[in-house]
């Protein structure tokens, strides 16, 4: 009756393969998170544009969008009425 055991080299090779796969997964997750941030910023901007357009049409006035950004992504978008220039 013979016993078969894994050698140290075989175990090290398996650990290296697992580490490579884990590294690839982490890199892929970072890309997914970045895409989600960009999508959320784009949705926020489009929503603010829609609100400004609806308010302008409903009130017959002009509105402006103020974009506050953190780094390169849109953090918040503010909609405010532009004061009348005439008396």
> pLDDT digit string (tens) for 3-60?
777 788 888 999 999 999 988 888 878 788 888 888 888 888 888 888 888 888 888 8
Q: How many angstroms separate the CA atoms of 55 and 81, rounded?
A: 9
CA–CA distance from 35 to each of 26, 66, 69, 72 (Å)?
Answer: 15, 23, 16, 13
- Return the domain boundaries, the chain: 8-81
Task: Please report the pLDDT score of residue 20 as a whole number.
Answer: 92
pTM of the model: 0.56
């Amino acid at each position: 009756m013979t016993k078969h055991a894994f050698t140290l080299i075989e175990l090290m090779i398996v650990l290296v393969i697992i580490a490579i796969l884990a590294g690839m997964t982490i890199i892929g997750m970072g890309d997914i998170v970045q895409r989600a941030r960009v999508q959320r910023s784009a949705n926020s901007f489009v929503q603010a544009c829609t609100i400004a357009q609806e308010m302008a049409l409903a009130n017959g006035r002009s509105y402006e969008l103020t974009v506050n950004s953190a780094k390169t992504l849109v953090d918040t978008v503010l909609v405010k009425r532009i004061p009348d220039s005439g008396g």
